[in-house]
Amino acid sequence: MFCPKFNAALTMKYKHVIWDWNGTLLNDRWLCVEGINAALTKRGLPVITEKTYRDVFSFPVEEYYKKVGFDFEKEPFHIAGDEFVFYYGEHFQRTELHPDSVSTLEDISASGRTQSILSAGKQEFLNDWVNSHGLSDYFINVLGIDNQYARGKTELGVAWIKELPYKSQEVIMIGDTIHDSEVAKAMNIECLLVDHGHVNRERLQKTGRTLISNLNQVMDALN
């Protein structure tokens, strides 16, 4: 179990930031649309736009697959799911971080706060991206999933919050989906949502969470 050193001198409200990865720090929405469209095209189904994707994306992802046209009475979900994961794995190194990702991570670290990643993405991809872009020093832990058919990251998050040496009110999650809000609720922590990711602003507003449009607004929200 990882036990980060607790700095008793910290007086800020939030002492630890848990980041979502895909869509929040990493700009991979376009790749997800490409990947799902490749699977749709293979089946002769209409492709979707990024707008449609943001209108319907959800967890568990099987439900969103159904909304965009897949028929799992004709084939099991894992066939289309495998195709998407393979496509993503072939191309994920083409993705880039959102603007202000690195500067925001640097500002949070410089403020004395610790940070971690909690992702519903594959651990393999997550490790490769974080390490290859020199980001590992910003995080005390990087948590992804090994089961690509997991229904989300709630269990992972609940286990992680129990390991952290902070009170729940001293921890905040930053994400881009309704699922991030749900996970934060299960962890009994606050959640800040950014609208540049996988879910549109209108849907995020319905969560009642604080909503921002750019990562350069994060520090103001933490103070």
Q: What pTM was estimated for this model as a whole?
A: 0.91
Q: What percent of the chain has pLDDT over 70?
A: 93
Query: What is the pLDDT, as a whole number, of residue 8?
Result: 39
Q: What percent of the chain has pLDDT over 90?
A: 80
Domain 16-26+97-222, CATH homologous superfamily name and number = HAD superfamily/HAD-like (3.40.50.1000)
- Residue 22 tokens read as 């895909």
How far apart are the C-alpha atoms of 167 and 5, rounded to whole Å?
14
Query: What is the pLDDT, as a whole number, of residue 26?
Result: 94
What are the tens digits of pLDDT across the range 56-89?
Answer: 999 889 999 999 999 999 999 999 999 999 999 8
List the domain boundaries for the chain: 16-26+97-222, 29-94
Confidence of residue 211 (pLDDT cuts 50, 70, 90): very high
- Residue 69 tokens read as 């046209």
Query: What is the pLDDT, as a whole number, of residue 146?
Result: 77
